[in-house]
Chains A and B, each alone.
Chain A
Amino acid sequence: GENVEQHPSTLSVQEGDSAVIKCTYSDSASNYFPWYKQELGKRPQLIIDIRSNVGEKKDQRIAVTLNKTAKHFSLHITETQPEDSAVYFCAPKGRGYNKLIFGAGTRLAVHP
């Protein structure tokens, strides 16, 4: 099946710094690439997504870049704030149907 890896597994930054999380996947047929944020004790929530016909997408302080040739996509958070502290999951769409394959998650800590 699809193999999905996220790096790093933990990330600690100072408030105001940028954070980058990378997700690599194995299924070359994947065509949908979302990032979910999960705060402690809460449900995962979609924060940004990108489709395979686009290389980059931005939404205020958040951006996602996609490299289909290399089979990886990355989450970029600029001007980090303490409320960005959470676990972030990439979840590329696997082969067939709408199944998302979740990475193991990256725990981001933003220190004031």
Chain B
Amino acid sequence: GAGVSQSPSNKVTEKGKDVELRCDPISGHTALYWYRQSLGQGLEFLIYFQGNSAPDKSGLPSDRFSAERTGGSVSTLTIQRTQQEDSAVYLCASSPGTTTTDTQYFGPGTRLTVL
């Protein structure tokens, strides 16, 4: 079946502009995660959704970052007033959401460049 998809694959924006990144999880997966990966670095957790609620937002770096999920499926990560340090690859992952099936499946990522 279809895997996790993300759009756009690349986004170039100017400092101060807002951007929206989209994630389509695997059908039926109730858990959805956003991570950020800077060049040559590991993955930094941003936020976790279970259904439409976000029980863990602890990784969001500032109040310029927000995310929502509607209908228990698609999620949007919004970055307001982008800064150059926001440049990174933003990865989305989904998992079935039960405690015995922890495997996370990643999307291809959105490469964000803030000029």
Contact = CB atoms under 8 A, between A and B. Distances in A.
B48 A97 contact: yes
A50 to B, nearest CB: 11
A102 B108 contact: no
A44 B55 contact: no
Given A46-B104, A49-B103, A93-B102, A100 B45 contact: yes
Contacts of A99: 33, 45, 48, 56
A100 B56 CA distance: 12
B48 A44 contact: no
A86 interface: no
Contacts of A102: 35, 42-45
Interface in B60-99: 91, 95, 97, 99
A61 interface: no
Nearest to A100: B104
27 contacts: A34-B103, A43-B91, A43-B107, A43-B108, A43-B109, A44-B43, A44-B91, A49-B102, A89-B43, A93-B102, A97-B48, A97-B50, A97-B55, A98-B31, A98-B33, A98-B95, A98-B97, A98-B99, A98-B104, A99-B45, A100-B45, A100-B104, A102-B35, A102-B42, A102-B44, A103-B42, A104-B41
Interface of B: 31, 33, 35, 41-45, 48, 50, 55-56, 91, 95, 97, 99, 102-109
